[in-house]
Every structure is written in C-alpha cells, then in structure tokens.
C-alpha cells in the first residue's frame, strides 16, 4: 500500500524469494512453541494480483492511490491431536481447509502514512468451518529510512460461534474421550483476541533484504476461558532472508 502511494508507477512484476524460520504456538491457546522453516515467496503482478503463503492467491478488484479492495483464496492450518500429545488427545483433528477472504486497505495520507486494514474470512469445505474477521492498523516508526523500515500497530480479531466452538469448545463426546477429562464447554461468538505487531526490514543491498516480524496477542472471551487454553498470551516470531527483484 505505501509503495503505491509514494511510487505510483508500480512495476509489472515484483518477486521476492527467500528462506524463513518461524516460532509460534503449537495451536491457538497452547503454551508450547513450534519452530519450523522453509522457502518463502511473494509474487505480485502490477497492482492487480498477488500470490504468497501469508496472503494467498488474490485479486484487487478496486484500486486507488491510497486504497485497495480485493478477494483472495488461502487456507486455515487446522489442528492435530499429535501436536500436543495428551493435552489434545480425544478432541479430534481439525483438518486443513481452504478459506475465502474479502479485504480492504486504506492509507490516510503521505504526511500521515497510517495503514488501516480489515478483512472477513470464511473457512469452507471442512476444517474449523466458520467465519473470522480482522481489523488492524500500522504506521512507520521514527528512525525508518529507505534502507531500514520499521512498522508497529494493533489488531483485533473476531470469530463467530461456529468457528470458536470447533477450535475452543468441548462437546459431550470430546469430554468423554479426552485424556484430560475436560468438562463440556460451549462458546459464544465475539472478539477472541487483541494484539500488537512489529515488523523491521533491513535492505542489505539493492536486491537482498532481511526481515523480522514479531507478534503479541491476548486471547479474550470464550477463547480465553476454554479448558483447552493453556496460555492466554500468545507470541510469534519470524526471520527471513529474501532476494527481491522487479
């Protein structure tokens, strides 16, 4: 969004390829952390289409110098019993499933480059099978430059009862099957987390860059009260080395 505002002549193709490592909770509400790594990519065609693991495969059907509205196809990771052994035993797996997202972004102005983003996601064809929404904002921090850029901003996530029941609820069958003997727990839809994100990118050269992302969130409502939840505070960290050309 900010590149389009400050550099209106967007290149036809922009491609980022690299390697990334990430640490995140094993599942939503887990105290344990999982560390994994692998290749990453971010491919963009003009200001029309994009493809990346984080954003999915998408198309911006409304575009302006300081706004963008589009739709994308991504996926929800689900959850496996084996991820936390006895703690999840008997609750069953939540399979990986596709999700459809409608999103919009808006930049206030060049003099005050606050980016505001909102999206609604529907998980389809199984998995957690529910609806989620996000509202977030971020702003470049003092000390940023063309070779070193930092962003910071808050976020809030909402989910409907169907999604939260699948992820944080405990049915009668699950209660009887769980090795932890969880009580039956029914959820209500609503705000399930609030958070704060930080991103820093250092351009090592014209083509190579180093990116660090850190996230902090706190579960709320039924997500925080669930007997499955071990830790209400969730943290994530990722580091990537990327080759960029356009």
Q: What is the pLDDT along the chain (246 residues), one digit of tens a residue?
A: 787 777 778 889 999 999 999 999 999 999 989 999 999 999 999 999 999 998 999 999 999 989 999 999 999 989 988 766 678 889 999 999 999 999 999 999 999 999 999 999 999 999 999 999 999 999 999 999 989 999 999 999 999 999 999 999 999 999 999 988 999 999 999 999 999 999 999 999 999 999 999 999 999 999 999 999 999 999 999 999 999 988
182 by DSSP, 3-state: which? coil
Q: What is the DSSP letter of 78?
A: -
pLDDT, position 86: 77
Q: What is the C-alpha to C-alpha distance for residues 217 and 215, in angstroms, rounded to an integer?
A: 7
Residue 25's H or E segment, with its range, is strand 13-25
Q: Which of 88, 45, 32, 85 is nearest to 226 (CA)?
A: 88
Q: Which residues contact 51 (CB under 8 A, 6 or more apart)?
A: 41, 42, 43, 44, 57, 58
| Per-residue model confidence (pLDDT) at position 212 | 98
Residues 241 and 7: their CA atoms lie apart, in Å, by 24
Quick one: tokens of 218? Answer: 């706190």
CA dist., res. 155 & res. 134, Å (int): 7
Q: pTM of the prediction?
A: 0.91
Domains and CATH numbers, the chain: 2-245 (2.40.160.40)
- pLDDT for 84 equals 62
Say if CB 102 and CB 134 are below 8 A apart.
no
Instruction: With CA atoms as reference, report the closest residue to 157 among 129, 192, 107, 181.
Output: 192
The pLDDT assigned to 6 comes to 78
pLDDT at site 87: 85
- pLDDT at site 82: 73
């Amino acid at each position: 969004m900010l590149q389009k505002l400050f550099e209106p002549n967007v290149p036809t193709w922009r491609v980022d390829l690299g390697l990334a490592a990430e640490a995140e909770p094993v599942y939503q509400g887990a105290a344990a952390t999982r560390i994994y790594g692998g290749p990453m990519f971010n491919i963009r065609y003009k200001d029309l289409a994009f493809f990346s693991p984080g954003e999915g495969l998408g198309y911006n059907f409304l575009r302006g110098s300081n706004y963008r509205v589009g739709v994308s196809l991504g996926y929800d990771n689900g959850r496996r019993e084996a991820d936390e052994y006895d703690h999840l035993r008997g609750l069953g797996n939540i399979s990986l499933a596709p999700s459809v997202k409608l999103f919009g972004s808006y930049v206030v102005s060049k003099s005050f480059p606050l980016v505001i983003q909102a999206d609604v996601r529907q998980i389809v064809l199984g998995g957690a099978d529910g609806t989620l929404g996000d509202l977030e904002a971020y702003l470049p921090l003092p000390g940023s430059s063309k070779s070193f850029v930092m962003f910071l901003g808050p976020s809030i996530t909402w989910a409907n009862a169907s999604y939260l029941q699948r992820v944080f609820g405990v049915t009668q069958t699950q209660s009887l099957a769980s090795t932890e003997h969880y009580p039956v727990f029914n959820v209500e839809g609503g705000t399930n987390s609030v958070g704060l994100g930080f991103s820093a990118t250092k351009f090592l050269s014209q083509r190579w860059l180093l990116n660090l992302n850190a996230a902090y969130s706190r579960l709320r409502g039924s997500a925080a009260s669930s007997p499955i939840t071990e830790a209400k505070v969730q943290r994530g960290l990722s580091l990537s080395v990327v080759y960029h050309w356009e």
